[in-house]
Amino acid sequence: MLKALLIVAMVTFLILLWLYLIAPAKDKDCNAFKGIMFAHRGLHQPNIPENSGMAFKMAADAGYGVELDIQYSKDMKIVVFHDATLSRMCGVDKKVSECTYEELLNYSLDGTDEKIPLFSEVLEILSGAPLVCEIKNHNGNRNYKLCNRI
């Protein structure tokens, strides 16, 4: 009986410790984000694909902040694209990380005239709009370099 109580107490302690460790920090100042609406991957809609220059322009023009996704191309250009592969958005069975940026420009986003943008181009489009940047880790060993560059 005592052994069972010790096990229950230990499991309870470990669960509480885990919950404490994953709890959001209370001392972080997030006031800069309060009251701001964010467009997830830009303000995309039919004929304006996600993570495209036009989706970001529409979000900025509407006064929204933007959440976007970045990763490296093969030639270490920082591109704005969510998926590891081009399949869903471009209909091509290739990984973004296996294509140079010049190669990526050959593919359109979701059948439109929009192309995969460079992060630097998107920053110009957003012109100081609030930004939440998700750094994709499709190629684990390059993620540290990407974080430092951003």
pLDDT, averaged across the chain: 88
Whether 138 is catalytic: no
Which residue out of 57, 74, 77, 82 is catalytically annotated?
82
List residues bridging with 26 in a β-sheet: none
Structure tokens at 149: 């560059």
Query: pTM score, two decimals?
Result: 0.77
For residue 119, pLDDT over 70 is answered with yes
Sorted by sequence, the CB contacts under 8 Å of residue 87 that are 6+ apart come out as: 93
148 pLDDT exceeds 70?
Answer: yes
Determine the average pLDDT of the residues in 41-56: 95
Structural domains for the chain: 38-149 (3.20.20.190)
Mean pLDDT computed over 16-44: 78
- The rounded distance, in Å, linking the Cα atoms of 105 and 74 is 13
- % of the chain at pLDDT higher than 70: 91
Q: Which of 40, 41, 44, 136 is catalytic?
A: 40
The number of beta carbons lying within 10 Å of the beta carbon of residue 84 is 15
8 pLDDT higher than 90 = no
Q: Is 44 a catalytic residue?
A: no
Chain segment 72-87, per-residue pLDDT in tens: 999 999 999 999 999 9
How far apart CA 77 and CA 123 sit, in angstroms, is 14
Strands 78-80 and 65-72: antiparallel
pLDDT at 74: 93
